[in-house]
Amino acid sequence: MSAGVLLPPGYQLVALDSVDSTNEEAKRLAGQGAEDGTIVWALEQTAGRGRRGRSWVSPRGNLYASLLLCPECPAPQAAQLSFVAALGLHDAVAGVVPPMAELACKWPNDLLLNGRKVAGILLESRMSGERADDPVDWLIIGMGVNIATFPEASEFPATSLAAEGAPALEPGALLESYARHFLVWLDRWLNEGFEPIRTEWLAHARGRGEAVTVRLTGETLQGTFVDLDADGALVVETGDGRRRITAGDVFFGGR
Ligand code: BTN
């Protein structure tokens, strides 16, 4: 199944036909001592997971993959890697969509194609150290891209590459491209820190300067999306001042 999929040096590919969740499999492999750079890829998931406890419908034809990393840094810094992944995914998808298509990043790590969600990222990490500045044991960056199909009924309007006019694409080909682009941005992050990642992400972000509604656990706030801060938090100007959002769902416009 992995025949023909060539990843750059530094990656180890675990290619599966079907799995519950590539993030879960990556976690199991991490527990067995899998190396930094392990990518778990499956043609379908039977229990794919999204952010904030949602499920991720995962039929054949789309891309489902999880990258295991062991960055030697504390959790807040490791979390910046989700933006590195978002840029890698952005650039990979930009290479296959029609020229006039509008591709944009949505906080925290979604990719929108013509205003609809085409890809999502799920970041999970484990830390066994006791101090806040201890390094994470591992970080898993799971990503799903709707290549051929998308769920009709979902909280956020969704789409697929095919529905927006992209030519037919094998999931393995998109995985190869993502793996290459991820390395480019990882190199920038390792050498220059988060600032170039933040700047590039903002350059592609949808809705900066516009009204957003942010749903947090137990609270919904409205304001203007003004910035992404140096830790990757969304900065929203509200009637009560600026708020830093570290976890939540963003909707464009007032609700
Ligand atoms: C989101 O809610 O936007 C994040 C979706 C992440 C889905 C991917 S598919 C591969 C990996 N395995 C999972 O179970 N989830 C992620």
Query: Please, which residues bridge with residue 212 across strands?
Result: 223, 252
241 C-alpha to center of ligand 1: Å?
33
pLDDT at position 255: 57
Residue 255 identity (one-letter amino acid): R
Q: What is the maximum alpha-carbon separation in the chain? A: 56
Q: Which of 64, 150, 178 to mutate to test the pocket of ligand 1 (most atoms within 8 A of CB)?
A: 64
Task: List the structure tokens of 15.
Answer: 């290619």
Q: Is the CB of 51 under 6 A from ligand 1?
A: yes
pLDDT at position 154: 81
239 C-alpha to center of ligand 1: Å?
34
233 C-alpha to center of ligand 1: Å?
20
| Nearest CA owner, ligand 1 atom 9 | 144
Instruction: Read off the pTM.
Output: 0.96
Task: List the structure tokens of 116.
Answer: 């609809």
Rounded to whole angstroms, the Cα distance separating 112 from 106 reads 7
122 C-alpha to center of ligand 1: Å?
5
pLDDT at position 254: 64
Q: Is the CB of 21 under 6 A from ligand 1?
A: yes
Q: Is the CB of 121 under 6 A from ligand 1?
A: yes
pLDDT at position 129: 85
166 C-alpha to center of ligand 1: Å?
22
249 C-alpha to center of ligand 1: Å?
15
Q: How many residues would you count in the chain?
A: 255
| Nearest CA owner, ligand 1 atom 2 | 50
Give pLDDT tens digits along the chain (255 positions).
666 899 999 999 999 999 999 999 999 999 999 999 999 999 999 999 999 999 999 999 999 999 999 999 999 999 999 999 999 999 999 999 999 999 999 999 999 999 999 999 999 999 988 888 899 999 999 999 999 999 988 888 999 999 999 999 999 999 999 999 999 999 999 999 999 999 999 999 999 999 999 999 999 999 999 999 999 999 999 999 999 999 999 999 865
pLDDT at position 212: 96
Q: Which of 86, 85, 54 is nearest to 67 (CA)?
A: 85
Closest ligand 1 atom to Cα of 58: 9
Q: Is the CB of 171 under 6 A from ligand 1?
A: no
pLDDT at position 4: 85
